[in-house]
Chain A
């Protein structure tokens, strides 16, 4: 339920594309409804809740109510937490509040901010792990702590017992890729118990103390914090984008879960497998004007693959969550925080990159100026995560160059 003025409903309606091809479109979807407030009306507590209950009653199978309440609703006197509590009590369903306008610690607005906050809310309604389950996995871990000091072989202890369950967080835009990643993790002996968001409320995994949370997107800071607050261990590692990123991700997640994974051989064989594709992007100059938040990991992988990354722009750079990524990217790439897009246009014109990864606002102007463009959404749709994702990224770029060459050869 989007609570606000006409503006909020209009944004949700005009968004050009759904976040993922197999998700329902927002416009016309019956699962998204708008509570449009009248600015002239005097606020009355509980009225929003009444409307929400009305809407939920008309839809069969509602399992969770997410109230998106922004700044204008606040200014019009809506007490979001109160309304959510009321909905929760009356419908006997979990109800959470998300404020899309709340500022982050680092200034700037990413298009994935709402996704982050909605995921944080979903983490909050995941079932708690039952105490018996907790004891089972916690007991070897406890022993580990007691003995690891002088025996120094704690890891092996855990491996002898059971590994900790792993929950994948994020990856909303590339659901297929998340499945592949889960398979890869299971291959090294890690038990993936579920994903947030899953496919339905019933499929949400148990998440709490003893669970390992693997984050698939470096910008999901609120969701990661929510998981930490529940006692889960959040793995701080590279985003599973690109070969080395995936290898490091699997290695670190497995280590946290208590399994041992040696991904070096696997990574080497994947690199060998994509060698022909690497030749297609080697030496190509790429400019990330971006807005998806995956620019830094993508740039890191493409730089490893032999492309020349000219600049990486992102509306917000949360240096704490991106520290590892920025380190892996190295000092030779310009990373620009909240770039002025007109300045970007000038820099792109001056640098004449081979391909620009640009969001909708810049895409058409850049194509009009003769630049080759790819939208960051294309990468997300193709599924960028995991080893196969690495191949798909290179294939996507190779296709882009191929098509551009074919079109350039036409004598108009």
Chain B
């Protein structure tokens, strides 16, 4: 049991719904309390695509058994197939309340539709503690297992499967588009994009591809490992963030597709000259802008690792802290993060994260929308580049690939000015704190502490007091 002021991840059912809503022909049935069917509303507000979410609610209601009214799971599942003739696969997600009530999933065979009956995927691994991202990963694997039958002939020319972010990922569609653009430049086709925009038919043809490219490893790890075991398809897992990461990924793909390394390198050089602006930004900026500037990064898996690598190596910032909220990827994350920082951590309590960031004394915070408050109270710039973010722009911009590196350069250019000579800074540290005031400050939740400290010191300066006393501190909190 923990006391939190927010969560980074939703429940497992939310992850399953995100994967299902990303794909065409997949309909999700959410088994949940009547008040938990908020996904369509969220989808409408976040995606703004004009499509209705392919999600139906099967409410857990207290009613006599075999009534066949709404709420009976068997009836709800078959009615989905009847009402949505385009459905090729049905996936069942259960909310935590439904899982905790321990009701049995009945044996169901879906009614046939035009000679073929849609497949039902039930996600047996679901348990109350599973988080959104892990559930999305496992649900994608289950969907692929259910539909990927039989080995196909490898495509005549090199193709890859792109495993990218599902819906609600920031700029998800743009990430796929940028990756596909770069692959075309080196002469590799895209066999399927999974899961965003994929059809059920695409899932059956995955074994045609030569290589699986993991853009977003959080969702796709299990699925690509399954494909590797089953068909021997190799994986490329390098995060395509920053110019160096993108180049490394492209070269690996070229190697695995037996392309001419010269041709790949030419394409990379051409892109470096035309599209990728991050190396340019790093060269054009004054060394003083970057020297001893510390950045704290927090997010999921791919983005903090990719950004951490790009910011430390390509831009030359010092990564003062780099963390993830995905506990189930802890080992992998720490292994990769230690290549560019000593301060890697795994934490899913926003207050603890805020404390870690504050302790690392950064000049810039890159994080999810929950980190905005910390940056605000430390009075330093903030870039919301890691999911979950709470804005959904109309123009999606990639963060991956060469175009993404330019987006990153723009973002950095906006917030990293030349180091200011802070006349205030000396004054701020100059004000000593009385012991009682310090004790009061310690009682404040960590995520508010920075702001409270600044306010108290400001107040003390206004009053012309030599130190921050308990009274001044309490007054500043009014």
Could you say which of A10, A37, A48 contacts B10, with CB atoms under 8 Å apart?
A10
Given contacts A58-B444, A361-B41, contact A7 B96 (CB under 8 A): yes
Chain B interface residue bracket vs A:
35 or more
Nearest CB to that of B373 among chain A residues? A28
Within 8 Å of chain B (Cβ to Cβ): is A159?
A: no
**Residues of B394-408 contacting chain A, CB below 8 A:** none
Closest chain A CB from B82 CB (angstroms): 12
Could you say which of B49, B61, B129 contacts A364, with CB atoms under 8 Å apart?
B49
Instruction: Fill in one digit per residue for A70-111: 1 if any B CB lies within 8 Å of its CB, else 0.
Output: 111001100000000000000000000000110100011100
Instruction: Fill in one digit per residue for B133-176: 1 if any A CB lies within 8 Å of its CB, else 0.
Output: 00000000000000000000000000000000000000000000
Within 8 Å of chain A (Cβ to Cβ): is B13?
A: yes
Q: Is the CB of B7 within 8 A of A34?
A: yes
In the bound complex, how far is the Cα of B41 from the Cα of A120, in angstroms?
27
Q: Is the CB of B1 within 8 A of A36?
A: yes
In the bound complex, how far is the Cα of B210 from the Cα of A304, in angstroms?
67
Which chain A positions have C-beta within 8 A of B14?
Answer: 7, 10
In the bound complex, how far is the Cα of B51 from the Cα of A364, in angstroms?
7
Could you say which of B1, B7, B444 contacts A6, with CB atoms under 8 Å apart?
B7
Which chain B positions have C-beta within 8 A of A282?
Answer: none
Within 8 Å of chain B (Cβ to Cβ): is A30?
A: yes
Given contacts A10-B11, A40-B129, A360-B44, contact A108 B6 (CB under 8 A): no
Of B32-40, B185-193, B195-203, B453-461, which stretch is located at the interface? Answer: B32-40
Which chain A positions have C-beta within 8 A of B2?
Answer: 35-36, 38, 51
Q: Is the CB of A107 within 8 A of B61?
A: yes
Within 8 Å of chain B (Cβ to Cβ): is A332?
A: no
In the bound complex, how far is the Cα of B1 from the Cα of A47, in angstroms?
8
In the bound complex, how far is the Cα of B35 from the Cα of A14, in angstroms?
14
Nearest CB to that of A366 among chain B residues? B50
Closest chain A CB from B6 CB (angstroms): 6
Given contacts A7-B11, A7-B96, A75-B100, contact A345 B52 (CB under 8 A): yes
Within 8 Å of chain A (Cβ to Cβ): is B430?
A: no
Which chain B positions have C-beta within 8 A of A145?
Answer: none
Which chain B positions have C-beta within 8 A of A40?
Answer: 129
Q: Is the CB of B41 within 8 A of A360?
A: yes
Closest chain A CB from B300 CB (angstroms): 15
In the bound complex, how far is the Cα of B423 from the Cα of A9, in angstroms?
42
Q: Is the CB of B445 within 8 A of A58?
A: yes
In the bound complex, how far is the Cα of B48 from the Cα of A100, in angstroms?
29
Q: List 29 A-B contacts (CB under 8 A).
A: A6-B10, A7-B13, A9-B7, A11-B36, A14-B42, A27-B6, A27-B369, A28-B372, A32-B5, A33-B4, A34-B7, A36-B1, A36-B2, A36-B7, A40-B129, A51-B1, A58-B444, A70-B33, A71-B33, A75-B100, A109-B34, A341-B52, A342-B83, A360-B42, A361-B53, A364-B49, A365-B51, A365-B52, A368-B50
Using a CB–CB cutoff of 8 Å, the interface residues on chain A facing chain B are 5-7, 9-11, 13-14, 16, 27-28, 30, 32-41, 47-48, 51, 54-55, 57-60, 70-72, 75-76, 100-101, 103, 107-109, 113, 341-342, 345, 359-365, 367-369
